[in-house]
Amino acid sequence: MTVLKAVIPAAGLGTRFLPATKAQPKEMMPIVDKPAIQYVVEETVGAGIKDILIVTGRGKRSLADHFDRSFELEYYLKQSGKLEQLQEILKISEIANFYFARQPEPLGLGHAISVSEKFVENSSFAVLLADDLMATNSKVLSEMVKLHNDTNKVVLALKEVKKAEVPLYGCVDFENTENKNLVRVKQVVEKPSVEDAPSNLAIMGRYIFNSDIFGYLKKVVPGKSGEIQLTDAISYYLNDHEVLGYIFTSERYDIGNKIEYLRTNIEFALQREDLRDEFLKVLAEAAEKYLH
């Protein structure tokens, strides 16, 4: 079944970025001049998916506003001849069909996904975590969709991480296939200790599921933190079905962490022709000033 729907959970409280996230969703924090979630939406659309459900929570209205029309602003930009900016903001609301659902309480990633059951119906669907940004023009999601279309199997995005970083992720035990980018997932463990980790292949925030996952999500009992983990549902799913892992080596940015958030801004700015030269000078001057 081809993948035409995507779910982007965006209901987290963003406590790591307080006070910036006190009155603003963390998904709206800019990377250069675009809110983070817009990159994720553009990636989704780039993989041929046009129906996007954003799962929000309290205080997240600006997410819906961002992907909606803004008649007042459009009128102003038109009147003042700022046609390039007008095109830019019109594009945002036209890029995809947006749907919103609210997760009443932040009970974890698994719970946020279960909120999407009615939207998904019997389709296959992609899940994209907005804390994980892929390199511009990344083909990871498109490749995963292709893989799912060919095999009809659940697909997880995997990337090798340093052994010491394994406790930050869901990790997999796997079997190799004849294709070096493709593994059969045998087991998934959420945030294992370095000693207990089955490998250093970590689950990155891109998944392709079918609607069977909802039945497994219902079986998950909340973990220590009271959260319903998506990884636990995948673990139950694995008892009955085969799951594939798509290993990618291209860059991925974890904007849920301050240093990485800053690095992402620097790299994304340096990849922009309109900013690169001037910004490089600023960075060189800053390095001179602060590095001793």
* Interaction between residue 205 and ligand G1P (CB under 6 A): yes
Q: What is the secondary structure of the chain as a DSSP string?
A: --EEEEEEE-----GGGTTTTSSS-GGGSEETTEEHHHHHHHHHHHTT--EEEEEE-TT-HHHHHHTS--HHHHHHHHHTT-HHHHHHHHHHHHSSEEEEEE-SS---HHHHHHTTHHHHTTSEEEEE-TTEEEPTT--HHHHHHHHHHHH--EEEEEEE--GGGGGGSEEEEEEE-SSTTEEEEEEEEES--TTT-S-SEEEEEEEEEETTHHHHHHHPPP-TTS---HHHHHHHHHHHS-EEEEE--S-EEETTSHHHHHHHHHHHHHT-TTTHHHHHHHHHHHHHHH--
Least separation in angstroms between residue 188's CB and ligand G1P is 8
Binding to ligand G1P (CB under 6 A) within 140-169 occurs at: 169
Bridge pairing between strands 252-254 and 201-210: unpaired
* Interaction between residue 37 and ligand G1P (CB under 6 A): no
* Interaction between residue 128 and ligand G1P (CB under 6 A): no
- Residue 86 or 140: the one with the smaller Cβ distance to ligand G1P is 140
Binding to ligand G1P (CB under 6 A) within 175-194 occurs at: 190
Least separation in angstroms between residue 215's CB and ligand G1P is 19
- Residue 28 or 113: the one with the smaller Cβ distance to ligand G1P is 113
Instruction: Find the binder of ligand G1P among 10, 115, 126, 129 (CB under 6 A).
Output: 129
Binding mask 222-241 for ligand G1P (x = CB under 6 A): --------xx----------
Least separation in angstroms between residue 212's CB and ligand G1P is 19
Instruction: Find the binder of ligand G1P among 132, 133, 147, 261 (CB under 6 A).
Output: 132
- Residue 117 or 165: the one with the smaller Cβ distance to ligand G1P is 165
- Residue 14 or 35: the one with the smaller Cβ distance to ligand G1P is 14
Binding window for ligand G1P (CB under 6 A); candidates: 50-58, 62-70, 197-205, 281-289: 197-205
Q: How many CA atoms lie within 13 A of 267 on its CB side?
A: 15
Binding to ligand G1P (CB under 6 A) within 53-82 occurs at: none
Binding site for ligand G1P (CB under 6 A): 109, 129, 131-132, 169-170, 190, 202-205, 230-231, 256
